[in-house]
């Protein structure tokens, strides 16, 4: 898939988006202030291209970094770390179960969007929606995160 039509975001929309992302991820996002933000609609996805790179996508009207965006921006908040045994399941789109979670950001609330990283290299593998709070994710049983986007899926393979 290739993006066809791009529309540059207006300054006020860009600033609003940056403020929302800064509230979630902290000052790391502020480095994007001078970047060019464009919106595009590709297949079923509403995306934001930042300096020509697909770094954000819309989930239920809320913009969140793609796996590639989390990797490039080096985000450290709203992160869940999974053990190496869970990696092969996560990169195939499986939901994340509590026994596979090593640590989770305690600020995560039920319903929040989260970045799933692997423990060895600290690289993002997927984006998901928390089904329970971050504090409860390190439990012994149950599903903790619904996977929404992962390495190798349709969104990952979009050519900008």
List, in order of start, the domains of the chain with CATH numbers.
7-73 (3.10.450.120), 79-150 (2.30.130.10)
Identify whether the C-beta of residue 83 lies closer than 8 Å to the C-beta of residue 116.
no
pLDDT in tens, the chain (160 residues): 555 678 999 999 999 999 999 998 888 888 888 999 999 988 778 999 999 999 999 988 889 999 999 999 999 899 999 999 999 999 999 999 999 999 999 999 999 999 999 999 999 999 999 999 999 998 889 999 999 999 999 889 887 6
Q: Please say whether the beta carbons of 79 and 65 come within 8 A.
A: no
What's residue 3's pLDDT? 57
SS (H, E, C) the chain: CECCCCEECCHHHHHHHHHHHHHHHCHHHHHHCCCCEEEEEECCEEEEEECCEEEEEEECCEEEECHHHHHHHCCCCCEEEECHHHHHHHCCCCCEEHHHEEEECCCCCCCCEEEEEECCCCCEEEEEEECCCHHHCCCCCCEEEEEEEECCCCCCCCEC
122: left (phi over 0), alpha (psi -120 to 50) or beta: left
Planar angle of CA 65, 71, 27, nearest 5 degrees: 65
pLDDT of amino acid 160: 67
What's the pLDDT score for residue 5? Answer: 78
Which pLDDT belongs to residue 30?
Answer: 83
Q: Please tell me the predicted confidence (pLDDT) of residue 4.
A: 62
Q: pTM above 0.75?
A: yes
Output the pLDDT for position 1.
Answer: 54
Start-to-end CA span in the chain (Å):
8
């Amino acid at each position: 898939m290739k993006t066809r039509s791009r529309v540059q975001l207006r300054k006020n929309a860009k600033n609003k988006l940056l403020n929302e992302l800064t509230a979630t991820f902290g000052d790391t996002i502020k480095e994007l202030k001078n970047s060019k933000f464009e919106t595009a609609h590709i297949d079923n996805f509403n995306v934001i291209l930042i300096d020509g790179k697909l770094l954000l996508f819309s989930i239920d009207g809320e913009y969140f970094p793609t796996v590639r965006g989390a990797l490039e921006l080096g985000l450290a908040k709203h992160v869940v770390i999974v053990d190496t045994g869970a990696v092969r399941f996560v990169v195939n789109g499986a939901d994340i179960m509590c026994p596979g979670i090593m640590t989770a950001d305690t600020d995560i609330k039920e319903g929040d969007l989260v970045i799933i990283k692997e423990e060895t290299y600290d690289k993002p593998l997927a984006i998901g929606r928390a089904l329970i709070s971050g504090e409860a994710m390190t439990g012994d049983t149950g599903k903790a995160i619904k996977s929404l986007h992962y390495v190798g899926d349709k969104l990952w393979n979009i050519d900008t």
